[in-house]
Structure 1
Amino acid sequence: MSRGRLVLQEPGEACVNTLAGEHMLLRPDEDSEMLAVLAWLRPHDVAGLYTGAIANAVDYVLDGPRTGRYDLLGADVHPGEKASVGAKLEYEVLRTFGLPKKPPLDTLIGGVPVDIKATVGSNWSIPAEAHCQLCICTQIQLAKNRHRSWLVRAHRSWLYRGAGNRDGKRGLAAHARDHWSVPLYDWTPLPVNPLTLLTPEQAGRVLAETPGQEQRFTMMFQFLEGQVIPRSVITTVGAGKRDPLRRARGVRERLERGGLTLLCGKFPEQRDLAAAHKITLGLEDWIALRTDGEHSNAG
C-alpha cells in the first residue's frame, strides 16, 4: 500500500528491520505483548490520568510562578518550549501511573517495554531504538484544548523518515495509526487556564507589576466570578512576589463588599458550600461566588 514515498506492508507481511531482524507484521489482536499492555491499562482511567499529566507538563514548561506566563500559545513562549511538553510528559506519565523508568525504552507496562511519545503537532519522532516496539502515542491540540492517545507497534515498515532527519527518528504513517493501532481514548478536553478567559485589557491589569497583589487578586476574582481558580493561577498572578496564597486569602473582605464570597477547597465547609452550588472544588482550588448571603468564616 503506497502512502506518498512510503510503501506500507500490511499485517501478514514481513517487516525488514536491520535492528530487530525480519519479522511478521501482526494485527493488534494477534500481538500478545500489545494485549498484555492493554490488560494492564484496562482498570485505569487512562484519559483522566493523561489529562492531569499533560496539565502538569504544560504548567512545568510555562513555569508561571517565576515567569507569569499562562498560555502555551502565547507570543512569549518559544516553539521549542511547546515541543518540550512531550519530553516532560514522559516523566509525568510514569509518575501518574506509578510506572518505573526502565531502559531500553521508557518503561515496562505489564512486563512489556513501552516507549511514551507525545506531539503538539501532527506526528511523532520515533527513535531507532523504538522501531518495531510498542509506543503510546499522544496527540495534543493546544488550540482546541484536547488530546487523544493510541497504543501502536511502531513497525519500521510503517514509519517514514522526516525531511532533514539524520538521527534515525521517523514519523508514523497515518494509515498505520488509524488502522493497525488501538485507540486508548478519544479526544478528551484539557483544563482551560482561567487566565486565558480574560480580555487582553483585563489580563494586563491582573498581571501588571502594580498595584499590589491584593488589588490584583481582587480584580482577578471579580473578572473570573464563578470560575474555579487552581493554585497554579494564584502563583502565576503572584509571580516573583512573596506569599501569593496568603495575599489571595486576604482579599475576602474586599470581595464580600462587592457581594462575592471567596471559597477555598482547603476547608471542608467551603467545599460543601461550593458543592451546594453544583461546583466541585479540589483541595487547592479557589472560587468567588455569589452565595445569596451564605458565608463561611473558615480560613
Structure 2
Amino acid sequence: MKTPLLALASALLLAACGTPLRQIDRTHVSENQDSRVQYLILHYTVIDFDRSLKVLTTGGKVSAHYLVRDNPPQTYQLVDENRRSWHAGVSYWAGATNLNAASIGIEIVNAGFTDTPAGRVYAPFPQKQIDEVIALTKEIVARHNIRPDRILGHNDIAPGRKQDPGPAFPWKQLADAGLIPWPDPAQVEIKQAIYQIAPPPDLLWFQERLARIGYQTPQTGLLDVATREVLSTFQMKYRPSDILGEPDAQTAALLDVITTPGGMITATPAPAASAQRSPY
C-alpha cells in the first residue's frame, strides 16, 4: 500500500511527464446490455489430440475457445470466452455473417470421415466425450444465455464448405438434454405420410423453408449444387441415415414441422420427464 507521501510523489512525476490523472466512475451500470456471445458452434478436428492441440494453439491461423479430447474425455480452454477465436471462418446464419465475432467455438477431437470403395464413413464419437461436450455446452449456454436455435454445427453456417461435426454427431442427445429443440416425431410421421402420397413440394418450397430456419440457401427453384449441399447439411442433423441431399418426403416432413409453430419440442432434462412446446 502506498504511503501518502509516495502517492503524492507518483502523482507529481506523472504530471511532470505530461500524463494527466483520470478516474473513471464505474458505479452506474446500464440495464440495457447482454453478452457479446450469441452463437455456439461445434466442430470436429479431423486429427488426433496432440496434433489438434498444436494446430489450435500455434501458428496455424485457426483456434477455438475449447478443445474436447476423446480419450480420456477432457476439456481444454484455449481462448478466453471474452476474446474472439478463429474457428468459424466465412459463415452465415439467419442473416448474420462472420460469426467469429459473436460465437464460442468448441472443437471435438474426432477423425472425421474416410472415403472408401463402399462410400464415405464417418468416425463415431465416444459416449463419454459426448457427455463432456453436453456438460460444457450447458455451462456456456448458462453463462451467455445463448438461444437454443443458435447452437449450431460448423456445417450449418458453412454448408458444402464444411462437414463438421458430421452425421455421426448425436444432435438428438443435445435435444434430450434440453439444449436444442427437436421436431415432434408424431407430427413428422403424419406429414411424411401425406408427402408420400401427395405431389411433393417444388424446389422453391424446400429452399424457402431451409432459408426460414437460417441456412444460406439459393432461391432459384433448381436442385443446384448449393441447394443439394444445404439439404445434405440439414439431413446430417435431423436424418443422418440418408444425407444425399435429395428433396424426399421425409425431408419435406421434417422441414414442414420445424418451420410450423408448435412443431418443435424442447425436452425438460431429468428429473422431470415431460416435454414443453417451443415457439421455435
Q: With structure 2 as the length reference, what TM-score do the two structures score?
A: 0.22
Higher relative contact order (CA 8 A, sep 6+): 2
